[in-house]
Amino acid sequence: MAFARTCSVALVGVEGVVVEVQADLEPGVAAFTLVGLPDKSLTESRDRVRAAVVNSGGEWPQKKLTVGLSPASVPKGGSGFDLAVACAVLGASERIDPRVLADIVMIGELGLDGRVRPVRGVLPAVLAAAEAGYEQVVVPECTAAEAALVPGVSVLGVRSLRQLIAVLTDEPVPEEDPAEEGRPDPLMAGLNLPGAGLGTGMGGFGTPEHDQRHDLADVVGQISARTAMEVAAAGGHHVFLQGPPGAGKTMLAERMPAIMPRLSRAESLEVTAVHSVAGMLPPGKPLVDIPPFCAPHHSATMQSLVGGGKGIARPGAVSLAHRGVLFLDEAPEFSGHALDALRQPLESGYVVIARSAGVVRLPSRFLMLLAANPCPCGRHSVTGESCDCMPNSIRRYQARLSGPLLDRVDLRVHVEPVTRSELTAQGARGESTQVVADRVRAARERAATRFEGTPWRTNSEVPGHELRTRWQAVPGSLAEAEDSLERGFLTARGLDRVLRVAWTVADLTGHDRPDAGDVALALQLRTGVPRGVPMVVGARS
């Protein structure tokens, strides 16, 4: 009996499980049996692997071949096991020394000609291998940079099965013909899921530190909205922008990622892992280091927002916006079920999806931007405009955003229409993205210093009881907010969120603790009711 084993990784959501790929050869009628709970795409690997081995100069064993994927209770899918299956078979037939294969993790799809094609989810797969104690990983050549992001792991990128066989047997490594210059490399097709970025509105990859096309100075007027966006970026707070069409809601939302700080190394790995599984990593840039921006259309289903699909759930828009911005334009037009499904990830920072194939936990800590018109026609409460909507129609339209959902939104701002004088004024541009981003970065650094040694990094993540006991505001500064709670204008959750926003305002203005003015501005941003404080953060410093 001939036996060999190597390893690969099965992805469950954005987490990986190391799978031992075993090959056993026995005398008998030539047959190839694959066991271990494979799906359809993995079952088809029998034909791909056989053709790849033969076309790579190897001999296919004419015996009874059994390939087992252990643990057998974990569902396995995709074509990323091809490389491991081929090497295990070659090890069992003694073409490769089985002892060399035992401690190597192999990830990659095989073409019929033996070329190694890339697969999605390489980064979380290599992370899982590193956590399991493996130090050597073999991946397709074009995903080697992505795999190399994991420290402590030796990565070998191969372009064909022939090259891998030569490396494992200490033979001269053959040269593979590169793609013709000016023509697309067919091997890159496996990196991106066709259409994955179109339905989500993903953007911003590879942009400079401050996107010159989306400068905040291009937004005319809107002092209150600009202040709300700055506070939201500094503290990670959710925002609801309501106003007539053409007031600048979408312009403000598109400029939010540019004023947010770049992702830390740990955050970049989290975001890259999610996008790798979703097939949305751009070629040549394996690490996502800026906050992603996801803007799904209002016809999006609940599954496309929170994740789902057949078998093991795939990441949805809330996970693709992890550590970035989720922009829901025309929010009342979204399905009520889809909007209410956002409640859990807004509170917990992750979403748990249960399917028959298993339960998946996906990260989803994002900054949510809601934009809505005041009524179906958009002219309600606009001075000088006549609204044609019936009162019942206006109430139904505004009620599509449920109270529990809006209670989780920290900042609510009414965006006023731009006047002619503001639009035609010369030299009256507001602060640029560069200026605001620097102020936001300084506020984030103050918060990070305060939360050093804790699991939190931004004010929006801190539980309310910690802010009331461990980091207290100036005595007496919360009197107005507590009065709003007693009168029913604020819920207990709302009071906690006002306190979080007040801390962010204090960080932006350089105060050690929130004072009455900081709390008043936080209340004004939360309720939309004027409190007699200017809506410019820097004006009160």
Q: List CB contacts of 209: < 8 A, sequence separation 6 or more.
A: 262
Has residue 401 got a pLDDT over 80? yes
The residue-averaged pLDDT of 377-403 equals 84
The residue-averaged pLDDT of 378-392 equals 80
Share of the chain above pLDDT 90, in %: 57
pLDDT higher at 102 or 530 = 102
pLDDT higher at 360 or 170 = 170
Task: Give me the chain's average pLDDT, please.
Answer: 87
The encoded tokens of residue 228 equal: 């709300």
Has residue 78 got a pLDDT over 90? no
Has residue 151 got a pLDDT over 90? yes
Share of the chain above pLDDT 70, in %: 90
- Is 317 in contact with 296 (CB distance < 8 Å)? yes
The residue-averaged pLDDT of 312-321 equals 88
The residue-averaged pLDDT of 342-350 equals 90
Least confident of 32-41, 185-194, 412-421, 515-524: 185-194
Has residue 541 got a pLDDT over 50? no
> Please, which pLDDT band fits residue 1 given cuts at 50, 70 and 90?
low
Has residue 196 got a pLDDT over 80? no
CB-based burial label for 430 (10 Å; 0-12, 13-18, 19+): middle
Q: Tell me whether strands 293-294 and 325-328 are parallel, antiparallel or unpaired.
A: parallel
The residue-averaged pLDDT of 14-31 equals 93
Element (H, E) at 347: helix 343-348
> Please, which pLDDT band fits residue 207 given cuts at 50, 70 and 90?
very low
**C-alpha distances out from residue 170 to 140, 162, 175, Å:** 19, 12, 15
Query: For 350-378, how does the pLDDT look when each residue is reduced to its tens digit (9 = 90+)?
Result: 998 887 767 888 999 999 999 999 899 88
pLDDT higher at 283 or 58 = 58
The pLDDT assigned to 188 comes to 60
> Please, which pLDDT band fits residue 206 given cuts at 50, 70 and 90?
very low
- How far apart (Å, rounded) are the C-alpha atoms in residues 468 and 259? 29
Q: List CB contacts of 206: < 8 A, sequence separation 6 or more.
A: 282, 285
Query: For 434-480, how does the pLDDT look when each residue is reduced to its tens digit (9 = 90+)?
Result: 999 999 999 999 999 999 989 898 999 998 888 888 888 888 888 88
The pLDDT assigned to 538 comes to 55
- How far apart (Å, rounded) are the C-alpha atoms in residues 417 and 249? 10
The pLDDT assigned to 384 comes to 61
CB atoms within 10 A of CB 347: 10
Q: List CB contacts of 438: < 8 A, sequence separation 6 or more.
A: none
Please state whether the predicted TM-score (pTM) of the whole model is above 0.85: yes
CA-based Rg of the chain, rounded to a whole angstrom? 27
Query: For 293-316, how does the pLDDT look when each residue is reduced to its tens digit (9 = 90+)?
Result: 999 999 999 988 998 877 677 899
CB atoms within 10 A of CB 206: 10
The residue-averaged pLDDT of 2-30 equals 93
